[in-house]
């Protein structure tokens, strides 16, 4: 079936609280961008174009977390207008780095940062999209990997399941032939509890994984953290290591609370 | 003329690499990369690690300088040779939509011609196990068999046991026992390499090299090196391990392992005999091109047993039990031998140090204790 004969599905890209890095990954797909524009009707994508078309949309990519009342209402509208909704990136999937406020009093942050705290209207928490509306697929990463993003769009167009494994970063690490940094150098690495997708970027540079892609399927947080402790990482270090881009993802959040005094 | 043998003195050893390169082989050998000895292509002898080895224990690997100049006393390399013949990712085919069907448009790439220099006896035995997996006489896997037929295997008598090694218990080493093309022994005091042809291909290569006569003591020395390496091994498996595992598919001990296991799959990916893979289909954006590729998979991944809407082995205990039972027990039912050749990589490279020999021994001890209580 040639592209021209098929009615092009309408794509929308939405932004909530985020840094725009995931949307930039889409724009960074340089070689494929024209193919995407051929295959789908880019109906709403403010990062790329000011022209917008009305819904409903066949595929919505949602970036960013929900941190204020206005956005909590807006995501309901987005969901109602979207046949398929894919949350992209750590913010949309678990609340992002801004979810650090979930572990403290958000008013303290506001007072510390803003000259006129009374101008700021915000929720006490930053939460992922799935905490507000049903999500059809979570594309992980901080930012997402552009090849995975392309895979999700291609799979959607073909009506098939995307090839996005939920296994550990270790699987990519071993496929790349990297010697495990934990075993060979005693470096704590979140790879065994983190979902693959980055291509084992950090272990490839001799660093431990920071968990950008969030928890993998069946993560054994407790025993990996016991291993971190035996490698010499302090309780605070363990807690803070889990409180990064996916701080509010349930397994990371619960484990970090166990190391909080 | 398989019986060519001789001494390759240090000054002449480059000739081996040159001879392989001249015949169109990419030579792969142990190389130091960062904190580990891995396997990489080399074009000159000085790229091959020299005077290095590694201390390996459960969950740790530490590079160490040797007090001799041996190149192949590395202990099992951090990167298993498996990837050379069974690559982590392989393209299978590409097809194009023709409007009323599809046509295959991929041209299979010719398999690379690779010489594996410095295989240890355990890794050599692992290749023999995989040979049976990838060609059972009825079905042959073209990706593996193509690479295998083009490969030249040069194995070294193992002169250094790691703490995690147990090839002697598995009867795969430390002497070069499994089929190969050339067997090599690094003689003491840097006297040179004793090289022995083990196939016609090996003999053809050796006969073109500047070989010196084999010194009188060389074969005795070769056997003594292997014996010393065997004597240094501290791990083994309990008696009748296949039966033991068969008897305990349900056992509380599996939960105790699962509490520690991260289901990361490193043991399977590092194991030189593990062969499982998954096929992935990808499509182009316009839906006119489809590609199928094969990637390593592991019995520790949930989707590995995905069937009728859900994964069958959901608990980590069932996945760990599957791995150890297949390696040490049901492999015997399938292939008439163990799936483990005793390289110890799964022990060393498990980030939390889970030890296949220790878990088998723990199960045996629990069985003994239960029987004693019963008596
Ligand atoms: S370096 Fe990290 S990601 Fe790689 S195998 Fe080790 S623990 Fe897993
Ligand atoms: S099971 Fe472990 S020791 Fe046995 S061959 Fe595999 S990696 Fe080596
Ligand atoms: S036994 Fe070790 S290496 Fe294997 S899956 Fe479990 S934690 Fe990972």
**Residue range B144-203, pLDDT digits in tens:** 999 999 999 999 999 999 999 999 999 999 999 999 999 999 999 999 999 999 999 999
Q: Coil, strand or helix: which one is A62? A: strand
Average pLDDT value for chain B: 95
pLDDT tens by residue, B32-51: 999 999 999 999 999 999 99
Q: What's chain A's average pLDDT?
A: 93
Determine the distance in angstroms separating the CA of B356 from the nearest CA of chain A, rounded to an integer. 17
- Cα separations in angstroms, A197 against A128, A145, A173, B321: 19, 7, 10, 27
Please tell me the distance from the alpha carbon of residue B75 to that of residue B285, in angstroms, as a whole number: 47
- Find the mean pLDDT for residues A179-207: 97
Q: Which residues line ligand 1 (CB under 6 A)?
A: A 169-170, 173, 178, 180-182, 189, 191-192, 200, 203, 209; B 264, 266, 351
Distances from the Cα of B183 to the Cαs of B21, B116, B118, B171, B177, in angstroms? 19, 12, 9, 17, 9
Q: What percent of chain B lies above the pLDDT cut of 70? A: 99
Ligand 3 binding pocket includes B260 (Cβ within 6 Å)? no
Q: Which atom of ligand 3 is nearest to the CA of B263?
A: 5
- Assigned token pair, A150: 């392309």
Does the CB atom of residue B341 touch ligand 2 within 6 A? yes
Instruction: Measure CB to CB from residue B284 to each of A154, A179, A218 and give the nearest one.
Output: A154
Is residue B84 within 8 angstroms of chain A, CB to CB?
no
Give per-residue pLDDT as tens, A130-151. Answer: 999 999 999 999 999 999 999 9
Residue-wise pLDDT tens digits, B351-372: 999 999 999 999 999 998 998 8
> What does the pLDDT average to over B56-83?
96
> Do β-strands B289-296 and B306-307 pair in parallel, antiparallel, or remain unpaired?
unpaired
C-beta neighbour count of B100 within 10 angstroms = 5
Burial class (CB in 10 A: 0-12, 13-18, 19+), A259: buried
User: Can you say whether residue A206 is alpha, beta or left, with left for phi > 0 and alpha for psi between -120 and 50 degrees?
Assistant: left
| pLDDT at residue A2, as a whole number | 44
Tell me which residues of chain B, numbers 3 to 32, contact chain A at a CB-CB cutoff of 8 Å: none
Backbone φ/ψ region at B349: left (φ over 0), alpha (ψ -120 to 50), beta? alpha
- Angle (CA) A161-A165-A167 rounded to 5° is 150
pLDDT tens-digit readout, A201-230 = 999 999 999 999 999 999 999 999 999 999
Kindly report the protein residue whose alpha carbon is nearest to atom 1 of ligand 2: B340
The beta-carbon neighbor of A185 closest among B35, B260, B286 is: B35
CB-CB: which of A38, A182, A191 is closest to B286?
Answer: A38
The answer to whether residue A183 scores a pLDDT higher than 70 is yes
> Between chains, do B296 and A183 touch, taking CB under 8 Å as contact?
no
Q: What CA–CA distance (Å, rounded) separates B299 from B321?
A: 10
Q: Say if CB A98 and CB A220 are below 8 A apart.
A: no
Provide the shortest C-alpha distance from residue B351 to chain A (in Å): 6
Selected residues 295-324 of chain B with any CB under 8 Å from a CB in chain A: 295-296, 298, 300-303, 314, 316
Q: Which domains does chain A have, with CATH numbers?
A: 10-158 (3.40.50.700), 169-258 (no CATH)
3-class DSSP assignment, residue A109? helix
Ligand 3 center from residue A199 Cα (angstroms): 20
How far apart CA B223 and CA B185 sit, in angstroms, is 10
Mean pLDDT value of segment A247-252: 97
CA dist A85 and B50 (Å) reads 56
For ligand 1, atom 6, the nearest C-alpha belongs to: A180
Residue B35 touches partner A, C-beta closer than 8 Å: yes
- Report for A51-60, A158-167, B14-23: range of highest mean pLDDT: B14-23
When comparing pLDDT for B372 and A52, which is higher? B372
Confidence of residue A34 (pLDDT cuts 50, 70, 90): confident
Task: Give chain A's end-to-end CA distance (angstroms, integer).
Answer: 61
Distance separating alpha carbons of residues B69 and B66, to the nearest angstrom = 7
- Give the per-residue pLDDT at B3: 81
Indicate if the pLDDT at residue B285 is higher than 70. Answer: yes
pTM attached to this predicted model:
0.94
Q: ipTM, 2 decimals? A: 0.94
Chain B residues whose CB is inside 8 A of the A153 CB are 285
In Å, how far are A61, A244, B65, B179 from A64, measured between CA atoms?
10, 15, 51, 58
């Amino acid at each position: 079936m040639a592209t021209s004969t098929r009615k092009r599905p309408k794509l929308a890209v939405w932004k909530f609280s985020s840094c725009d890095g995931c949307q930039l990954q889409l724009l960074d797909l340089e070689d494929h961008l024209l193919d995407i524009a051929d295959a789908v009707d880019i109906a709403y994508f403010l990062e790329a174009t000011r022209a917008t078309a009305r819904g409903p949309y066949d595929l919505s990519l949602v970036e960013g977390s929900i941190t204020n009342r206005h956005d909590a209402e807006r995501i309901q509208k987005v969901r109602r207008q979207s046949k398929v909704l894919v949350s992209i990136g750590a913010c949309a999937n678990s609340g992002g780095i801004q979810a650090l406020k979930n572990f403290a009093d958000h008013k303290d942050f506001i007072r510390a940062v803003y000259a006129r705290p009374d101008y700021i209207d915000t929720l006490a928490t930053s939460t992922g999209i799935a905490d507000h509306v049903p999500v059809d697929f979570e594309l992980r990463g901080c930012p997402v990997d552009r090849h995975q993003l392309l895979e999700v769009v291609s799979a959607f167009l073909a009506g098939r399941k995307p090839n996005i494994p939920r296994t550990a970063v270790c699987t990519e690490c071993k496929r790349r032939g990297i010697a495990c940094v934990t075993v060979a150098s005693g470096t704590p690495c979140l790879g065994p509890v983190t979902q693959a997708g980055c291509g084992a970027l950090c272990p490839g540079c001799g660093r431990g994984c920071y968990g950008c892609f969030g928890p993998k399927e069946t993560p054994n947080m407790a025993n990996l953290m016991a291993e971190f402790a035996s490698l010499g990482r302090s309780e605070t270090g363990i807690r803070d290591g889990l409180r990064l881009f996916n701080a509010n993802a349930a397994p990371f959040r619960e484990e970090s609370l166990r190391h909080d005094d | 003329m398989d019986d060519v043998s001789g001494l390759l003195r240090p000054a002449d050893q480059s000739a081996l690499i040159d001879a392989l390169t001249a015949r169109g082989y990419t030579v792969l050998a142990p190389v130091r990369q960062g904190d580990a000895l891995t396997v990489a292509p080399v074009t000159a002898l000085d790229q091959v690690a020299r005077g290095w080895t590694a201390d390996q224990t459960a969950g740790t690997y530490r590079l160490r300088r040797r007090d001799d100049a041996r190149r192949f006393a590395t202990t099992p390399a951090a990167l298993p040779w498996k990837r050379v013949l069974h690559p982590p990712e392989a393209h299978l085919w590409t097809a194009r939509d023709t409007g009323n069907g599809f046509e295959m448009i991929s041209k299979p790439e010719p398999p690379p011609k690779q010489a594996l220099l410095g295989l240890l006896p355990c890794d050599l035995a692992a290749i023999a196990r995989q040979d049976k997996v990838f060609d059972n006489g009825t079905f042959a896997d073209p990706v593996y068999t193509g690479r295998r037929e083009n490969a030249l295997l040069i194995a070294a008598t193992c002169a250094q046991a790691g703490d995690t090694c147990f090839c002697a218990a598995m009867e795969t080493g430390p002497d070069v026992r499994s089929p190969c093309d050339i067997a090599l022994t690094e003689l003491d005091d840097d006297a040179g390499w004793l090289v022995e042809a083990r196939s016609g291909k090996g003999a053809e290569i050796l006969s073109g090299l500047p070989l010196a006569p084999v010194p009188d003591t060389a074969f005795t020395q070769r056997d003594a090196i292997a014996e010393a390496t065997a004597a240094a091994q501290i791990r083994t498996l309990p008696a009748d391990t296949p039966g033991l595992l068969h008897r305990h598919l349900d056992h509380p001990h599996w939960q105790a392992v699962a509490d520690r296991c991260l289901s990361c799959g490193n043991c399977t990916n590092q194991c030189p005999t593990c062969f499982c893979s998954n096929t992935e289909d990808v499509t182009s954006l316009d839906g006119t091109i489809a590609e199928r590729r094969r990637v390593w998979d592991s019995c520790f991944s949930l989707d590995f047993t995905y069937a009728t809407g859900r994964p069958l082995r959901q608990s980590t205990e069932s996945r760990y039990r599957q791995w150890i039972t297949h390696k040490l027990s049901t492999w015997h039912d399938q292939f008439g031998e163990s799936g483990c050749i005793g390289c110890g990589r799964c022990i060393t490279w498990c980030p939390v140090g889970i030890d296949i020999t220790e878990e088998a021994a723990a199960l045996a001890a629990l069985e003994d204790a239960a029987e004693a209580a019963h008596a």
